[in-house]
């Protein structure tokens, strides 16, 4: 691990680099892909990107809670097309 705050997680068959972003470093609005809500400046969150084949533009900013719940959220997203109706 090259950076203390960076870790690697496996998700969807890929290795993702995950880095914590402190509130002081967040200077703009980001849209969290987990909940489709904005992360305002000054809010600590996470930035994650696939280790391989990803450019800077592929980095995504997530709320910590949304990243932790990403399996639930992505499962719901992927299921929506062929989902049985409840």
- Site residues, Zn ion (CB under 5 A): 32, 34-35, 63, 66
Alpha-carbon Rg for the chain in angstroms: 14
- Report the residue number, 60 or 63, with the smaller CB distance to Zn ion: 63
Q: Name the residue number minimizing CB distance to Zn ion.
A: 32
Instruction: Work out whether the CA dihedral 61, 31, 65, 52 comes out positive or negative.
Output: negative
The DSSP annotation for 14-75 comes to EEEEEEEE-GGG--S-EE-TTT--EE-TT--EEEEEESSS--GGG-EEE-HHHHHTHHHHHH
Q: How far is the CB of 79 from Zn ion (least distance, A)?
A: 19
- For residue 19, the minimal CB distance to Zn ion (Å) is 16
Q: In the complex with Zn ion, which residue's Cβ is closer, 2 or 72? A: 72
Query: Least distance (Å) from Zn ion to the CB of residue 48?
Result: 12
**Residue 17 or 45: which CB sits closer to Zn ion?**
45
């Amino acid at each position: 691990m090259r950076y203390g705050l960076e870790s690697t997680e496996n998700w969807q068959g890929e290795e993702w680099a995950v880095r914590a972003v402190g509130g002081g470093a967040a200077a703009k609005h980001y849209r969290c892909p987990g909940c489709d809500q904005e992360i305002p400046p000054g809010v600590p969150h996470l930035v994650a990107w696939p280790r391989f084949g990803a450019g800077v533009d592929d980095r995504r900013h997530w709320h910590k809670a949304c990243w932790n719940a990403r399996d639930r959220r992505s499962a719901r997203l992927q299921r929506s097309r062929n989902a049985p109706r409840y």
